[in-house]
Amino acid sequence: MFLQAICVRQNGVCVFFTFAGKLNAVMYMLSVWSANSELPSFPQLSNDKKTDVLIVGGGITGLLCAYMLKTHGVDCVVLEADRICRGVTQNTTAKITVQHGFIYDKLLKRCGTEKAQMYLCANERALQRYRELCGNIACDFETKDNIVYTKQNRRKTEAELRALETLGAKAEFSETIPVPIEIAGAVRVPNQAQFNPLKFLAEIAKGLEIYEQSKVFEIRDNRAFTAHGTVQAKQFIVATHFPIFNKHGGYFLKLYQERSYALALENGPKINGMYVDEAPKGMSFRNYGDLLLIGGGDHRTGKIGGNYGELRSFAKVHYPACAEAYVWATQDCMSLDGVPYIGQYSKALPNVYVATGFNKWGMTSSMAAAELLRDRIVGKENDCAAVFSPSRSMLTVQLAVNGSTFLTGVLTPTKKRCPHLGCTLKWNPTEHTWDCPCHGSRFAEDGKLIENPATDDLKK
């Protein structure tokens, strides 16, 4: 039942109680992964250190980079501003798949067969590496088919199917899907996977040299500076979701952020697969144990969108017997062309690397990034690296949109301004936050920083 609720604060988390014949507790903004996982804790950096590679950011990308480097004998340190995996990583829907919407037909037309093949190959390797690692980790790993559907354009489905076949991937056409949506067609790729990412990363983190509550505020002269110590390194990886250093790389123009939302429903049907709309504002579906996870309500951060209301309206109509168990939101960095930026941060920083712009496909993209950057650092050629190059052309329609949004944000008069690059902040009445439509920084009502690329709280 979907009824009005009252909210009671428990340990900083808003717990909703709804009344439908019995008392049901719904954890607000606590993902199903966070509620069912326990992460290890690590000390704060308290002195100066030296290492071969410093990784800034302790989410899934940073931890996988550290793990891959360590297994190749490279000494590395991870610095995390808060706690590991307590940012975007904990709020994924955790689908591991090479099928990132209808991307392969676009890649073939824009980049050609060689680079489209690179993209597919990098993600196939990522999927296989997860399969190998998860074989020894209790993280609810399951092999599932992934299905991308379209509600209106059958020709897009047929074109994507042809593209996958051209690249040698196994795929098939589907007329229907087991969710209450009428579709024009779908492309099914078998033997993909889903898991609990926090259970997985809790094991990956063991044995790594990690420091929490150790925010990096500057890198210069091969040294990273924090409030309580420095780390000198030969090479650096910036794995902070949105890159936090503005002087190089133009990421404030190359990236924007989108918010999306998820419900975990009790008593939902078993759908035996992972389903996602190819449309930017479509919905996704998967099971986790006895729960049905529904994602959607997407919009650019700082703009108006469907958010939780869209998902709840859908669930009320199509799953009226289901109760909400968990409700959460996430935020994704979107690149100009739908392909992540993985590689050298900029030409001016030859020993600094970046991994960002995963376009809502952070699970496979983070593993692909870890393998690509490991190869780069150990001096091994990676035959998939070129398609992800951060220095590739920026000439896209999205660049003009990002530039226009930035100028509007800077020139609009307002008292609330983002400390990142000075854009106006918009009040988000659904989540009670101040959001930046330019680059996606978010702040609590009291001004405390929630999402980067800003690195400081709002000034009072």
Which range is least confidently modeled, 9-13, 71-75, 202-206, 452-456?
Answer: 9-13
Give percent of the chain above pLDDT 70: 94
pTM here?
Answer: 0.92
Under DSSP, the state recorded for 44 is P
Section 396-400 average pLDDT: 94
- Evaluate whether 1 touches 323 at the Cβ level (below 8 Å): yes
> Does residue 102 have a pLDDT over 80?
yes
The residues, ordered by sequence, that sit 6+ positions from 460 with a Cβ below 8 Å of its Cβ are 447
Alpha helix positions (H), 135-241: 154-166, 197-204
Strands 349-356 and 229-238: parallel
Looking at domain 49-92+199-253+338-388, does it have CATH number 3.40.50.620?
no
Which range is least confidently modeled, 22-36, 134-148, 279-293?
Answer: 22-36
> Does residue 20 have a pLDDT over 60?
no
The residues, ordered by sequence, that sit 6+ positions from 415 with a Cβ below 8 Å of its Cβ are none
Q: Kind and range of the H or E element at 108? A: helix 104-111
Every domain range in the chain assigned CATH 2.102.10.10:
397-451
- Evaluate whether 423 touches 453 at the Cβ level (below 8 Å): no
Section 62-91 average pLDDT: 97
- Give the CATH superfamily of 397-451: Rieske [2Fe-2S] iron-sulphur domain (2.102.10.10)
Section 288-307 average pLDDT: 95
Reported as a pLDDT band with limits 50, 70 and 90, residue 415 is confident
> Does residue 29 have a pLDDT over 80?
no
Provide the pLDDT for residue 30. 86
Residue with tokens 């509550």: 213
Provide the pLDDT for residue 49. 97
pLDDT tens per residue, range 215-240:
999 999 999 999 999 999 999 999 99
Every domain range in the chain assigned CATH 3.50.50.60:
49-92+199-253+338-388
